Amino acid sequence: MIPVNPDRFLQDLHTLRGFGAAGLGKGVVRPAFSEADIAARKWLAARFAEAGLTPHFDPVGNLFGLAEGPSLLMGSHSDSQPEGGWLDGALGVIAALEVARAARDSGGPPVSVVSFQDEEGRFGVTTGSAIWSGTLPLAEADALVDHAGIGFAAERAKLADLAGDFVDPGRFTGFLELHIEQGPTLDSTGGQIGVVTDIVGIRDMRITFDGQQNHAGTTPMHLRRDAFQALAAFTAEINAHFSGVVTPATVWTIGHVALHPNASSIVAGRAVFSMQWRDGSAERLDRMEEIIRTVASEVADARDLSLSFGPMLGLQPVAMDRRLFAALEEGARQVAPGRWQILPSGALHDSTNLSNLMPVAMLFVPSIGGISHAFAEDTAEDDLVAGLRVLAHAVPRLSG
Amino acid sequence: MIPVNPDRFLQDLHTLRGFGAAGLGKGVVRPAFSEADIAARKWLAARFAEAGLTPHFDPVGNLFGLAEGPSLLMGSHSDSQPEGGWLDGALGVIAALEVARAARDSGGPPVSVVSFQDEEGRFGVTTGSAIWSGTLPLAEADALVDHAGIGFAAERAKLADLAGDFVDPGRFTGFLELHIEQGPTLDSTGGQIGVVTDIVGIRDMRITFDGQQNHAGTTPMHLRRDAFQALAAFTAEINAHFSGVVTPATVWTIGHVALHPNASSIVAGRAVFSMQWRDGSAERLDRMEEIIRTVASEVADARDLSLSFGPMLGLQPVAMDRRLFAALEEGARQVAPGRWQILPSGALHDSTNLSNLMPVAMLFVPSIGGISHAFAEDTAEDDLVAGLRVLAHAVPRLSG
């Protein structure tokens, strides 16, 4: 086992929490390319250098701490949701840093570290690792805008002065990502470690209904082309149509809605909203997409609205690499006997993209109450350290 | 008939359109207390003074042009919707100005002019005239905030240096308001003038569903407390429950929606939205309110969400004063023989509030395509002048 230092690990984790601290619990506000995100990445680059790793920003804000020669890659992301927790992504980056520097100090195997950019999807879905892995062409990414209309190209330019080329994935032998579960499974069963079997696929599409903006007092109901009423009808229809297709593990979400002009005395002329769905089966994701497109067209036609679909961002379900999975499983046995289990990941991770470049595997620690993507997100420090120790056990098994 | 000057009237109307011009058609962006709204009011005050009227701002931004002694009051409002037309409110203010100055120049009866503030409801519903008429206490108004969270008290302070006391309504013998119809009736029947019989009542309430913000990938559908799904269910339920209660003239609108945190990868923890409904019967407005409150509670209980209702702003249906109505009717006969009709107002107007203070009556001219509260709002200039002429005929009938 690599002699990791839990205190140093926890201290760095709490220091990182200070960048974009929400002032509510341990919450952070550190979306991709925000001032807090950029400051955090510069701080991380300095930590990497102290650990004897070469800091390297690629053209889209992914930050690497590179060991010399071939190495295992470990990490996650340090950007957060608009209202995020302190561990989502940050845990995997700091755990990787601790393992890498402990390995280096103790003459262990070479480990490189990475913090990917915009995993939380301000511009898309796992934007930074999607670009590096080739699943999202850079030109396409540059055309993406966030919900405020700000472009990815303009935001990544903020780091242009520090940016080098994209890193050659060929130098890495595999990728390990430690992450909080972000769901209720481990917490509700008293589990301390989860070894991930596979990651569900996800699709995320922006849909727009265009109707007729008009006066809310003088336009009779039967003459209205109300974009919000269309959205409400679409929502009910989708729920009904999915019932015959989905499993209890399938999820779908309309989390972002923008009405235009969004005033109480005006019939909404336009509704733009996000439609996101996740499942372990690529076939089921396809069938859900067909239903979404069909129902949206039917709702638009029935109400004389026009309909448009934004670019769909998607990631296929991914199975973990057997060799890496086995190493994590053995580590879990050592560190948390009787308190570990295997489980799928309902959440999307950078590992999904990296599976296109190299073998990947993931490890989970519990989320208290299953809460994540919220200021209240937290995990017991014993569990955080347990996750670190599993990695410290697994890494030596993977060298040579 | 008072010898009004149509060219001078149209010229002033087009000049007013320059304040907050949207640059799209004749559209204007002049919400209450915006820079454009304040500049327009200062320009109006100067026109009033030129016409021999005494400009007077009251404490909430209502601008009067006062004739000496007892007088008829005429006018409307000069604020606009976030995306408004050039005639909504502005027509009534400039027509009143033209009649008042033509009457003064020709030794006619004394006419005072008014432009009420925030008729469009940035903060409430016909805020300025509601305060003046006593239907909205000033302390209550000062606590109102717009959808951006800006308070009425802070906004009205922008005009504090110009503000005098509230005007004594006792000095006015009645109120006449010329307005565009903002609906399809006159335009679709080739009518040029509409004499209003009554104004429908309106209620407008902010409703909030509070659920649980959580990760859109790891929270199973059956464990979600999704505030947007509650809003969609509420919308469908309301439509179903209203069907047995409403008439073809009844309207209801959800025009403003704000989800929190409003991100595609997060189950919405909160939905705040506007519920507005209008009808000519006070009893029906009551029954609809009961349904809204009951359905919202049922939806919240069924999904384990908490529910809160904002302050409800409301105005009762109002019948026009017979004497004023008769004078407008006679004017319509003279100016537009065979091309005028009587009709109710589906839109809300400042006249509703003024009916608490003095006799009121309203006159409509057509809206092309029935379009209003949009940049495309327009009316043929012949019809605008016809409306002016009807007022010029009616006013002498009302003096003494």
d(CA A219, CA B248): 11
Task: Please tell me whether residues A57 and A112 are part of one structural domain.
Answer: yes
Does one domain contain both B174 and B231? no
Q: H or E segment at A64?
A: strand A63-66
Task: State whether A162 and A234 are in the same domain.
Answer: no
- Which chain B residues are closer than 8 Å to A184 by Cβ? 218-219, 223
Q: Does A242 touch chain B (CB under 8 A)?
A: no
Report pLDDT digits (tens) over B77-104.
999 999 999 999 999 999 999 999 999 9
- On whether the CB atoms of residues B193 and B208 are closer than 8 A, the answer is no
Last residue of a domain, one of B315, B338, B373: B315
Identify the domain boundary among A277, A296, A315: A315
The DSSP line for A213-269 is -EETTTS-GGG---HHHHHHHHHHHHHHHHTTT--TT-EEE---EEEES--TTEE-S
Mean pLDDT of A317-346: 95
Residues of B in contact with A348 (CB under 8 A): 217
Q: Are residues A155 and A107 in the same domain?
A: yes
CA distance B112 to chain A (A): 29
Residue A108 lies in a domain: yes
Q: Are residues B65 and B146 in the same domain?
A: yes
Query: Regarding beta strands A318-319 and A306-309, do their DSSP bridges make them parallel or antiparallel, or are they unpaired?
Result: unpaired
Residue A268 sits at the chain B interface (C-beta within 8 Å): yes
A284 lies in the same domain as A306: yes
Among B315, B348, B370, where does a domain finish?
B315
Which residues of B are less than 8 Å from A249 in CB distance?
220
The two three-digit tokens of residue A155, written as one number: 């935001």
The residue in chain B having the minimum alpha-carbon distance to the alpha carbon of residue A256 is B262
Distance from the Cα of B329 to chain A's closest Cα (Å) equals 22
A236 touches chain B (CB under 8 A): yes
Is B1 among the domain residues?
no
Domain housing B253:
201-315
A386 within a domain of the structure (yes/no): yes
CB burial of B118-151 (b: ≥16 within 10 Å; e: otherwise) equals bbbbbbbbbbbbbbbbebbebeebbebebbeeee
CATH number at residue B289: 3.30.70.360
> DSSP class of residue B117?
S
Q: Are residues B307 and B326 in the same domain?
A: no
d(CA A271, CA B236): 17
Rounded average pLDDT over A141-163: 95
Whether residues B140 and B270 share a domain: the answer is: no
Task: Write the CATH number for A188.
Answer: 3.40.630.10
Residue A147, pLDDT score = 87
- For B241-285, the pLDDT digits (tens) are 999 999 888 999 999 999 999 999 899 999 999 999 999 889 999
Does A228 touch chain B if contact means CB atoms closer than 8 Å? yes
Task: Report yes or no on A89 lying in a domain.
Answer: yes
Residue A1 located in a structural domain: no
In a domain, B39, yes or no: yes
Say yes or no to pLDDT of B166 above 70: yes
With cut-offs at 50, 70 and 90, classify the pLDDT of residue A400. low
Contact B218 A371 (CB under 8 A): no
- What pLDDT, on a 0 to 100 scale, did the predictor assign at position A71? 97
Q: Per the domain annotation, does A63 fall within a domain?
A: yes
What is the helix (H) or strand (E) element at residue A273, kind and residue range? strand A270-279
Beta strands A71-77 and A111-116, pairing class: parallel
Name the residue with higher pLDDT: A328 or B223: A328
Q: Which of A35-44, B1-10, B59-68, B179-188 has the lowest mean pLDDT?
A: B179-188
How far, in Å, CA of B259 to CA of B230, rounded?
11
Interface probe with A: pick from B209, B266, B278, B362, most Cβ of A within 10 Å? B266
Say if residues B182 and B367 touch (Cβ distance below 8 Å).
Answer: yes
Contact present, A375 and A229 (Cβ < 8 Å):
no
Beta bridge partners of A313: A204
Residues β-bridged to residue B194 = B341, B364
**pLDDT band with cut points at 50, 70 and 90 for residue B211:** very high
Taking only residues 125 to 144 of chain A, the set having a beta carbon closer than 8 angstroms to any beta carbon of chain B reads 125
Taking the Cβ of residue A230 and every Cβ of chain B, the question of whether any pair is shorter than 8 Å is answered with: no
**Structure confidence by residue, pLDDT tens digits, A165-174:** 999 999 999 9
ipTM for the complex?
A: 0.71
Same domain? For B223 and B288 the reply is: yes
Q: Are residues A268 and A375 in the same domain?
A: no
What's the pLDDT at A113? 98
Weakest-pLDDT range from A21-25, B252-256, B293-297 = A21-25
Q: Which of B50, B64, B172, B191 is nearest to B117 (CA)?
A: B64
How does DSSP assign B5-71, residue by residue?
-HHHHHHHHHHHHTTTB-SSTT-B---TTSHHHHHHHHHHHHHHHHTT-EEEE-TTS-EEEEPSSSE
Q: Are residues B165 and B205 in the same domain?
A: no
Residues A184 and A64 in one domain: yes
pLDDT of residue B400: 55
The tally of domains found in chain A comes to 2
At residue A145, what are phi and psi to the nearest 5 degrees?
A: -125, 150
Helix (H) or strand (E) holding B284: helix B282-302
Full-model pTM? 0.71
Residue A343: inside a domain, yes or no?
yes
